[in-house]
Structure 1
Amino acid sequence: MKSYSQGDTAMFHLQLLSKTIDLKKYPFTKLIIEKNITNEEYNDLLELLHVLNQKYELQKEEGLLDFSSLLINFAGMLNEKLHPDETILALKKEGYYHDLMDSFLGILNEKKRFK
């Protein structure tokens, strides 16, 4: 009889859970799972988003209208496993940092419009 490790069992349980959850409602979570993001990488991303959101709120209060530098910072600091555009869309759809993601999407859409 074959013995299974805790990791095998956890992976099996995760596969079962993923079948019961509508991952279309949780695109960011799905992205994290698909890209095999570790707990540490996930926490680093959330910390990055928290810092950028604080900067965004501060710059907005100061009357700044161009947040391209924050988007560049985000893209530059984003884990290499993740694509900035895809991550921003997933974060927005799942409700993370709504105003910041709207701003990033506006910049990206403007950029695409002029290409």
Structure 2
Amino acid sequence: MDERELLKRIQLLEYHQKLLLKLVNNPKLEFNKLIIEKGISEQEVKNFFKLCEEMCKKMEAQKAEGFVYFSPLFDEFSTSLPLTLQTEEVIQACLSQNLFESLMLDFKKYI
């Protein structure tokens, strides 16, 4: 294992350790648990939050135009997730942690 790979693993462990400390105080942080369980990196989580923010904006724009079905957005969301995450578990974890609640409630209809 080279130094770069070792550094990445240390950074991942440090990130997961921060999440674990938050879990000690609030064991109901299901999304944080999911991140740790699936070995998701901090950058992947940042990308996920950015994706959700973009999806929220797109959904708001579509709702303003009168759209009522959002399956294309749901499909885009699903295919943009890291491969280790399944759409249903992400939606459930986000809802339990009140993350992007409106978006996840709409997406839950397509599971």
TM-score (norm 2): 0.78
Aligned to 2:63: 60
Moved over 4 A (4+): none
Consecutive unaligned residues in structure 2, runs of 5 or more:
1-9
1:99 equivalent in structure 2: 102
Residue in 2 aligned with 1:36? 39
Tell me the distance in 1 between the aligned counterparts of 2:58 and 2:24. Answer: 38
Aligned residue pairs total 98
Q: Any unmatched runs of 5+ in structure 1?
A: 1-6, 109-115
Cα distance in 2, alignment partners of residues 96 and 20 from structure 1 = 19
Which one has the largest radius of gyration?
1
Q: Does structure 1 residue 46 correspond to structure 2 residue 49? A: yes
Identity of aligned residues (%): 33
* Residue 21 (str. 1) matches residue 35 (str. 2): no
8 A Cα contact 2:23 2:29, kept in partner? no
RMSD: 2.2
